[in-house]
């Protein structure tokens, strides 16, 4: 059962964000307002998950492997949006 949330986070990051919001207090630990998690949920879910984990487990610091993970998450989020735009252009 402990591996279920990371598996959900990889394949369905928005569902993982909703589950984390309802069943933990991680959002209040990582973010001071609701604006950034809401924007992250809408536009960059992987980045929001990595940022939240880094803030909680690394003592509100972004360095080392967490910084590399954040860059990879941004690339995943931007790559997913760019790929869908390419498909839209090809179909039309």
Q: What is the pLDDT of residues 11-45, one digit of tens each?
A: 899 999 999 999 999 999 999 999 999 999 999 99
Answer whether residue 1 shows pLDDT above 60. Answer: no
Q: If you compute the radius of gyration of the chain from its CA atoms, what whole number of angstroms results?
A: 14
Q: What is the pLDDT of residues 41-92, one digit of tens each?
A: 999 999 999 999 999 988 888 888 999 999 999 999 998 766 666 666 665 5
From the CB of residue 76, how many other CB atoms can be counted at a distance below 10 Å? 17
The whole domain housing 18 covers: 4-91
Structural domain count of the chain: 1
pLDDT of residue 67: 93
pLDDT of residue 2: 66
């Amino acid at each position: 059962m402990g591996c279920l949330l990371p598996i959900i986070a990889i394949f369905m990051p928005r569902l993982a964000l909703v589950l984390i919001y309802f069943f933990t207090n991680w959002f209040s630990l990582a973010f001071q307002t609701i604006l950034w998690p809401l924007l992250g949920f809408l536009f960059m879910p992987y980045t929001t998950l990595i940022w939240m984990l880094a803030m909680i487990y690394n003592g509100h610091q972004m360095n080392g492997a967490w910084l590399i993970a954040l860059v990879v998450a941004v690339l995943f989020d931007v790559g997913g949006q760019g790929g869908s735009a390419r498909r839209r252009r090809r179909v039309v």
